[in-house]
């Protein structure tokens, strides 16, 4: 009898895992953020560059709807600067395929129907140490994300002497060699690109810890004043300012909690305030800041919902 019970438990466990993995997890169309880091050798040591991707609404091209990706960042060990570029993706949920629109060209990017030994849709990232070989599916397994198992496709290359997984592709997230591959932020020659973390709504999964920002760092959409659907009002006054600013906010009905943060032009957070009311005003002393451009962000449910540029002139 005990053996029969154990056998039934084992069968139930196997069926449960298969049911979890068989569910297809789609890519998000809002409230998502990807953080990545490129690293390479500059001749005298390693250099690093961090950046991120935000979803920035939808656009229609040739009758097809794409979710726009806004590239934000970045900060590097050998300098800093602000990246602002766009790409877009669309998903055929029924076919379990994801297409990318880059420079006006639509191409199949991820196919979650592939089997072991199939070639992959797009090429491996620069500097992955794979030479000119062919990238193929080495294995397929699952990984637990936010409490559920998602399919993970592990990629190897024929040019490697020993079989090595060069990156993986996860349902609803993309490649671990950078958000949607490394092609959107082309890394320098002989480099690597890694996905550091993925955030959807209030949940975050950390894949790697970066060299510049140890944990998941969310960059500010630099140079853009934006307000999402979860915020009705977000103003910073006076602007330009010298000594003190008043930040007024009004959240949509049902929202009463957020985080107000101030960043410098390098994406470094300077102040952080918790908001516990649906509307109000936060007064902040900025007399100690140097002249320059800064950015306030208002996050709701862990996602940046509004931004405002602040100019400080003493």
The CATH number linked to 295 is 2.60.40.1930
Question: Is 213 among the domain residues?
Answer: no
**Which of residues 304 and 299 earns the better pLDDT score?**
299
Residues 156 and 61 in one domain: yes
Residues 45 and 84 in one domain: yes
Q: What is the DSSP string of 26-79?
A: PPPSSSEEEEEEEEEE-SSSEEEEEEEEEEEEEEEETTEEEEEEEEEEEEETTE
Statement: residue 182 has pLDDT above 60: no
With the C-alpha atoms ordered 247, 252, 257, 262, is the resulting torsion angle positive or negative?
negative
Measured CA to CA in angstroms, residue 138 lies from 24, 165, 181, 197, 235 at distances of: 20, 7, 18, 23, 52
Query: What average pLDDT is seen over the chain?
Result: 78
Domain total in the chain: 2
pLDDT tens-digit series, residues 113-166: 999 999 886 654 444 444 567 889 999 999 999 999 999 999 988 876 677 888
Question: Is 220 among the domain residues?
Answer: no
Question: Is 129 among the domain residues?
Answer: yes
CA nearest 176: which of 37, 25, 27, 67?
37
Lowest pLDDT segment from 25-34, 43-52, 302-311: 43-52
User: What is the Cα Rg of the chain in Å?
Assistant: 22
Statement: residue 191 has pLDDT above 60: yes
Residues 192 and 232 in one domain: no
Statement: residue 216 has pLDDT above 60: yes
Q: What is the DSSP string of 156-167?
A: EETT-SS----E
Question: Is 78 among the domain residues?
Answer: yes
Residues 100 and 48 in one domain: yes
Question: Is 13 among the domain residues?
Answer: no
**Which of residues 262 and 228 earns the better pLDDT score?**
262
Residues 122 and 81 in one domain: yes
pLDDT tens-digit series, residues 75-105: 555 444 444 556 789 999 999 999 988 778 8
Residues 202 and 237 in one domain: no
Beta pairing, strands 303-312 & 292-300: antiparallel
Question: Is 2 among the domain residues?
Answer: no
Residues 125 and 193 sit within 8 Å (Cβ to Cβ)? yes
The pLDDT value given to residue 289:
93
Residues 68 and 194 in one domain: yes
Question: Is 18 among the domain residues?
Answer: no
Query: What is the spatial distance between Cα 194 and Cα 208, in angstroms, rounded to a whole number?
Result: 8
- Name, in order, each residue with C-beta under 8 angstroms of 98's C-beta and a sequence gap of 6 or more: 27, 89, 90, 91, 92, 108, 109, 110, 111, 112, 174
At 222, give phi and psi (nearest 5°): -65, 135
Q: Which domain holds residue 158?
A: 32-206
Residues 185 and 231 in one domain: no
Residues 96 and 241 in one domain: no
Residues 178 and 247 in one domain: no
Query: What is the spatial distance between Cα 77 and Cα 280, in angstroms, rounded to a whole number?
Result: 39
């Amino acid at each position: 009898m005990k053996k029969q019970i154990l056998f039934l438990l084992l069968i139930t466990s196997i069926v449960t895992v298969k049911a979890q993995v068989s569910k297809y997890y789609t890519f998000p169309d809002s409230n998502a953020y990807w953080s990545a880091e490129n690293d390479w050798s500059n001749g005298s040591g390693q250099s690093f560059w961090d950046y991120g991707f935000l979803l920035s609404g939808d656009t229609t091209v040739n009758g097809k709807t794409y979710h726009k990706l806004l590239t934000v960042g970045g900060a590097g060990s050998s300098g800093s600067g602000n990246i602002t570029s766009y790409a877009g993706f669309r998903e055929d949920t029924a076919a379990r395929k994801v297409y990318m629109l880059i420079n006006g060209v639509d191409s199949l990017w991820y196919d979650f129907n592939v089997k072991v030994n199939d070639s992959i849709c797009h090429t491996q990232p620069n500097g992955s140490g794979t030479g000119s070989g062919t990238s193929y599916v080495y294995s397929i397994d699952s990984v637990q994300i936010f409490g559920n198992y998602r399919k993970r496709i592990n990629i190897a290359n024929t040019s490697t002497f020993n079989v090595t997984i060069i990156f993986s592709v996860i349902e609803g997230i993309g490649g671990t060699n950078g958000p949607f591959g490394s092609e959107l932020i082309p890394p320098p020659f002989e480099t690597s690109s890694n996905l550091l973390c993925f955030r959807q709504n209030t949940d975050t999964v950390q894949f790697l810890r970066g060299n510049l920002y140890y944990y998941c760092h969310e960059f500010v959409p630099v140079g853009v004043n934006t307000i999402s659907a979860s915020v009705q009002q977000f103003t910073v006054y006076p602007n330009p300012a010298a000594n003190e600013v008043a930040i007024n906010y009004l959240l949509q009905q049902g929202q009463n909690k957020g985080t107000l943060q101030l960043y410098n032009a390098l994406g470094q957070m300077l102040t952080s305030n918790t908001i516990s009311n649906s509307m109000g005003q936060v007064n902040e002393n900025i007399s100690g800041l140097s002249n320059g451009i800064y950015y306030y962000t208002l996050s709701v449910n862990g996602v940046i919902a509004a931004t405002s540029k602040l100019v400080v002139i003493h």
